[in-house]
Amino acid sequence: MAGVLPRRRGPLKLLADNELRGDAKREIQYRNLVETWASARGLELDARTMTSYAAATFQDPKVVKETCRKAEESRGHRTVRRGRREGAQGELDGQEGEG
């Protein structure tokens, strides 16, 4: 079938796809901002660092963590989950983390 063209997507489907990509792009840009803020202070991006960023920028820590989590899901990263797991383990053990 050499002359068959691929089926074109309708304009509503394209708009919906673009909105999904736009949300992911904003989340990724936000996560990169938080990561840059952390690296400028010599910190690794984890749950505790995100809480510090939220406090420094007068934002809700839950929103910061959730936005970073969504960005990492769209990029396939796992650092937030690892940070949450390590942070939760440190809290359970009564240990203070670095930073």
Does 5 reside within a domain?
Answer: no
Does 1 reside within a domain?
Answer: no
- Half-sphere exposure of residue 91: CA atoms within 13 angstroms, side-chain side: 8
Question: Measuring CA to CA, how many Å separate 71 from each of 1, 9, 62, 89?
Answer: 40, 26, 14, 24
User: For the whole model, what pTM was predicted?
Assistant: 0.59
Does 45 reside within a domain?
Answer: yes
2-52 tens-digit pLDDT? 666 566 666 666 556 655 577 788 999 999 999 999 999 999 999 999 999
Domain of 64, in residue numbers: 16-93
Does 22 reside within a domain?
Answer: yes
Structural domain tally of the chain? 1
Does 3 reside within a domain?
Answer: no
Does 28 reside within a domain?
Answer: yes
Q: Which tokens in the block code for residue 56?
A: 């420094």
Does 6 reside within a domain?
Answer: no
Does 65 reside within a domain?
Answer: yes
